[in-house]
A and B are shown apart, each in its own frame.
Chain A
Amino acid sequence: MPKTPSANGRQVFSYFQESRALWRLTGIIERIETSMEEEIARLNEVNYEFSDIFYFCRKGFEAIVDDAVTQRFSSEELLSWNLLTRTNVNFRYISLRLTIVWVIGVVVRYCFLLPLRITLAAIGISSMIVGTTLVGQLPNSSVKNYLSELVHLTCSRILVRALSGTIHYHNKENRPKKGGICVANHTSPIDAIILTNDGCYAMVGQVHGGLMGVIQRATVKACPHVWFERSEIKDRHLVTKRLREHVADKSKLPILIFPEGTCINNTSVMMFKKGSFEIGGTIYPVAIKYDPQFGDAFWNSSKYNIVSYLLRIMTSWAIVCNVWYLPPMVREEDEDAVHFANRVRSAIARQGGLTELPWDGGLKRAKVKDTFREEQQKNYSRMLVRNGSIGSLSAGTESD
C-alpha cells in the first residue's frame, strides 16, 4: 500500500480493481475479471494492434449499462416489494388482492400513522428547544451538563419514536467516550438523531436558517456543539483548528462527523475525506445499516427537499436499523491521513455488510478528476513500450 499522499491516484486505481468483485455479484451484467495486461495480450510482435481498443470499448459499454457509482446516489432496489409505491420501480399490476392490501396500507399509513408521528415530532422539537434554552440559562457546572444530557436524550428518544424507529445497538462497550471523534457512514440527516438516541455528542455542521437555525442556536447554549458559518467552512485550517481545540479538552463530548460528506444510499461506503482524520485523537467508528424492507431512509437531495423527505419517512412503515460500535482506532506513527481514513472505512464497511468504493461521494454533483484517466493512460503506455520494443522500431520488421 503506497504511503505517500501523492500516490492517491494509484491507490484509487488499485482499490478499484480489488473491490470490484464484491459488488459485481449484484450487477445486471456479467463482468469478466481480467486486467488490462491479460486482455491486451499480444498475438505477434507488433507494438500496437487495432484490437487494443476492444478492451476500452467493452469497459466503456459495461459502465454505461451498469456502473458502481451512480447507482449509489439513488435508492436501493428491493428484491421483493414492501407495499410502498415509491419502491415499485418497474410497476406491474399483479393481482386484485395485492392491490386491496396496498390500499389498506395506504390508508393506515397516511390517515393513522402520519398524524400521530407529526404530533410526536412537534412535541419532540418544541421540548428540545424549550428544554435546551432553559438549561442554557444555568451557569456552567456539572449539574448543567447532567441536565443538558437528560434533555438531549429525552428529546432524541421522542423524535425517534416519531419516526417509528427501532434501533438495535451492538457492542455498547465501545461507545464513544469524551474527547474522541465519532465517525459513521452517512445515509440521511436522521443518522444524527439515531446516534444521539444512545449517547450525547457534539455536533459539527453548518449554520442553517429557519427552524434548523432555531434548534442550533438553542442547543449550543446547553451543550458545546460546533456550528460553523458558511464562510468559515471554506477555510479548512480554521475548521481543523476549532475541532482540534474541542478534542483537546477531555471533558467535552465526543464530536460526531460524517466523513463521506454527502448522503449515500446505504449499500456502500464511499471515500472518507481525510480532514477529520488529521485532527488527532481517538477515532470511534460506528457502522449504521438500515433495513430497507420497512422504509427507505436514503435522502436523495437532488430529487427531494428536506420537507418532502421527512414526509416520505413518516409515511413509511418504520425505520429499522442496526448500529454497531467498533473498537477505537488511532493513527499509527508513520501512517498518513488517507491511509488511516481507508483503514477506518474498511472496518465500518466490513461490520455493516456494505461494499467499499474508492470513489468520492462528491461525484454526486462534481465531475471526476482527470488524474484517474491519466492513470489508465499511463498503464497502457507502459504496456505499449514494454520489452524495450520501441528501440527496435528502426531495426525493421524482422519478426514477420
Chain B
Amino acid sequence: MLLVVYPLRSLRKGLCRRETIWQYYISILNWWSVSHSQITRLYSRFTSLDKGENGTLSREDFQRIPELAINPLGDRIINAFFPEGEDQVNFRGFMRTLAHFRPIEDNEKSKDQNGPEPLNSRSNKLHFAFRLYDLDKDDKISRDELLQVLRMMVGVNISDEQLGSIADRTIQEADQDGDSAISFAEFVKVLEKVDVEQKMSIRFLH
C-alpha cells in the first residue's frame, strides 16, 4: 500500500465538508481508474498552475499557458472546466473534465455494464464536444452558435457572407428533422464514421 502525503493545506480547501481525504482520492480513482502515479503527476501539474496557492484554479491560471492562449478555441476549452456560474475549479473538477480525454481501453469495454457510463465513453466524448458548440444549453446547435465557433476558428480571414454560407451548408448536410438546428442525435449521426476515440484522447506515458 503506497503511503502518499499530499500537501494537506491546499487539498483540504478542495474538499466538501462531508468527505475525508480518502474518499476524495477514491472518487478521483473512479473516474480515472488507472495508475496512482498519473494522479500524482496531474496533482503536481495542478499545483504548479495554481499561482494563488489556494487549491483552486481560475481562468487566469489557464490563460497563463501560452499554448492554450494561442489556441483559437482556448476560451471555450477553459470554460468547459468551470461549472455554471463559478469562477474557481478545484482538483476534483479539474480531473473530472480531464477524464473525458482518457483513452478507451479495450479491457474496459466489457466491464460493468450496470454501472454509470464512464466519462470517457464515445458518447460522453461526443457530448463534451456538443457542449462546446451549444452555449445556451438548449440541446441544439443553432446557426448562430455554429457561426460563433466558426468565427473563433477562422479569425478575420473569411468574410461574413462566406462564413454564413459555410454554416448553412453544414447545417443542411446534418439536419434531418428540418428545424435548421442540430440536435445531439443528429450530431452523433454526422460523426458516426469519425474515430472519436483516437481524436479525443490523451495517452499517458506511464
**Chain A: residues with CB nearer than 8 A to chain B?**
27-30, 39, 43, 46-71, 74, 89-93, 359, 363, 367-368, 372-378, 380-382, 384-385, 390, 393-394, 397, 400
Contact = CB atoms under 8 A, between A and B. Distances in A.
Contact of A61 (B64, B101, B191, B205): B101
Contacts of B169: 46-48, 393, 397
Contact of B153 (A65, A90, A92, A380): A380
B72 A48 contact: no
Given A47-B169, A92-B5, A58 B153 contact: no
B205 A29 contact: yes
A61 B102 CA distance: 11
Name, among B149, B154, B196, B206, the residue most crowded by chain A CB atoms within 10 Å (CB to CB): B154
Contact of A380 (B63, B65, B72, B162): B72
A58 B200 contact: yes
A385 to B, nearest CB: 7
Nearest to A69: B66
B63 A376 contact: no
Interface string B28-52: 0000000000001110110011000
Main secondary structure of the interface of B (DSSP, over half): helix
A61 B202 contact: yes
Interface stretch (B13-21, B105-113, B115-123, B170-178): B170-178
A375 B70 CA distance: 9
Interface of B: 2-5, 40-42, 44-45, 48-49, 62-74, 77, 98, 101, 129, 132-133, 149-150, 153-158, 162, 165-167, 169-170, 172-174, 182, 187, 190-191, 193-194, 196, 199-206
A329 to B, nearest CB: 29
A121 to B, nearest CB: 31
Contacts of A57: 73, 77, 129, 132, 200
A82 B41 CA distance: 20
Contacts of B155: 373-374, 377-378, 381
